[in-house]
Amino acid sequence: MNAPLIWIGIPLILAILLWLPSRTKVTAFLGGISALFLAASAWFIPIDTAIRISDALSLKIAVSIDILGRQISITPADKPLLALLYGMAAIWFFGSSAAGIARRLVPLGMGILALFIASLSVKPFLYAALIIETAILIAIPLLSPPEKKPGRGVIRFLIYQTLAMPFILFAGWLLAGVESSPGDIELLTQAATLLALGFAFLLAIFPLYTWIPILMEEASPYAVGFILWLLPSVALLFALGFLDRYAWLRNFAQLPAALRFAGLLMVGTAGVWAAFERHLGRIMGYAAIVNTGFSLLALSLLHDSQLSAFFLLMVPQGLGLAIWSLSLSILKLREGSLNFKKIQGMIQQYPIIISGVLVAHFSAIGLPLLAGFPPILALFEGLAKEGLFTASWAALGIVGLLTSAFRTLAVVVMSPKDSTWEMRGSWLQNILIGIGIVLILLLGVFPHLIYPILVNLPATFEHLSG
């Protein structure tokens, strides 16, 4: 038995088997339970250590496996990361039935997650780009059902993500030369430039994020939300792998400034454009862009906070996107549109579902007592040390998102005087969103609850964890 077979091979097999159940609730339940089991096994089962089963029998989970001459390795240091990714995926899978896309999201999502984990584990790392591209191709049926013609957002998503691969592959080719000639400044600059271009496409860095708000209009908000949670998270972890592997790259003098500049552009521009939006899905898309910008800003503080600021953002952002996109999916399923005109006064018909939209939105802004507040506060503390302009530009994005939140609030409470309160939505939809709201409040009031998960995550990158 070896670790890649458990946390990559088994999920790929499950991705096929989960197509078999005919009922969506069964698919969602089995997918969620499977992801929880994989998360629990990653947390509790030791890797590369003998497990004594009886006096005559012991079991040891090997670290790596060789496939076609390539090595896939999952070390003991990777266990917290596996537990986090599969644990968060379980939340998405459990909610997929209420969003009406369990038949597609659960099997495809399990396969995409397994491939992304394989991309973080494969050696040589060049093959990671090819695995990520495979996962991107699998994501297309999730975002655009076979019976539906692909829209502009799906096409742009595929084009931009595919364009990232040649840049990363060429950069990897140059990095092989850098290892043999570390003093070649021209070669270093070329490799760094190609890497920056590759990750600009992969992370949808300004101005390459135009596909996100378009896709939020065309596809299921829950399917898009899953991709907007998983893809940036894995891409940033992939980037950290480069920084951890190459000393010259993590010591590159311009790296913090470049990360800060890209992060501020994303936070500032997406926040301002969100303030003028009249479509709830597009607003969430811009908020996801702001999330990626915050993650880049956290990485720009690497020398001060190591990786703590970056990992602090992962759980609140993932949970917020899950609740937000589930609420929007339910509204879109029942009302047909997410435009302001269509959802005017809807808080009286969907009090819990609209509350999910608002709570997740305010959490993304960092409103006190919500899950996003502790990490965003810590991030602004670090940005303030870099200068007033840096903190002010990030604050501009927050003000833009706050404006869109107040506009949303004003629209949903704008109902006729004689209208009555109802409780639309199924019991499952309301219960899931209610649980999500409670979790966001709990993580805001008691942020230390996720400390056991986060404390060992930086150890995955031994040269970056201080």
Q: In the structure, how many helices (H) and strands (E) does the chain have?
A: 20, 5
User: Do 105 and 247 reside in the same domain of the chain?
Assistant: no
Copy the structure tokens of residue 346. 């809807």
CB 267 within 8 A of CB 293: yes
User: Do 95 and 216 reside in the same domain of the chain?
Assistant: no
Q: What backbone torsions phi and psi does residue 60 show, to the nearest 5 degrees?
A: -130, 125
Beta strands in 100-238 (DSSP E): 122-123
Question: Quick one: pLDDT at residue 194?
Answer: 87
Where residue 220 falls (left for φ over 0; alpha for ψ -120 to 50; beta otherwise) is beta
Question: Quick one: pLDDT at residue 160?
Answer: 93
User: Do 13 and 131 reside in the same domain of the chain?
Assistant: no
User: Do 9 and 143 reside in the same domain of the chain?
Assistant: no
CA terminus-to-terminus distance, the chain: 33
Question: Quick one: pLDDT at residue 242?
Answer: 81
CB 298 within 8 A of CB 328: no
- Per-residue burial over 226-242, b if 16 or more Cβ lie within 10 Å, else e, is bbbbbbbbbbbbbbbbb
Say which DSSP state 425 is in: S
Q: Ranked by mean pLDDT, which of 47-56, 339-348, 419-428 comes out on top?
A: 339-348
User: Do 77 and 161 reside in the same domain of the chain?
Assistant: no
Confidence of residue 146 (pLDDT cuts 50, 70, 90): confident
Residue 465 lies in a domain: no
Taking the CA atoms of 392, 307, 72 and 110 in sequence, report the sign of the dihedral they define.
negative
Question: Quick one: pLDDT at residue 56?
Answer: 65
Task: Say what the alpha-carbon torsion angle 186, 190, 195, 200 is, to the nearest 10 degrees.
Answer: 120
Residue 67 lies in a domain: yes
Residue 224 lies in a domain: yes
User: Do 212 and 361 reside in the same domain of the chain?
Assistant: yes
- Quick one: average pLDDT of 400-418? 89
Copy the structure tokens of residue 265. 């552009």
Residue 466 lies in a domain: no
User: Do 43 and 181 reside in the same domain of the chain?
Assistant: no
Structural domain total, the chain: 2
User: Do 148 and 117 reside in the same domain of the chain?
Assistant: no
* Of 437, 328, 432, residue with least CA distance to 28: 432
Where residue 70 falls (left for φ over 0; alpha for ψ -120 to 50; beta otherwise) is beta
pLDDT in tens, 285-294: 999 999 999 9
The one-letter code for the residue type at 387 is: G
Range of the domain at 36: 1-123
Task: Say what the alpha-carbon torsion angle 348, 353, 355, 356 is, to the nearest 10 degrees.
Answer: -170
User: Do 51 and 172 reside in the same domain of the chain?
Assistant: no
State the residue for tokens 């190459």.
Answer: 246
User: Do 396 and 341 reside in the same domain of the chain?
Assistant: yes
CB 253 within 8 A of CB 188: no
User: Do 17 and 165 reside in the same domain of the chain?
Assistant: no
User: Do 150 and 103 reside in the same domain of the chain?
Assistant: no
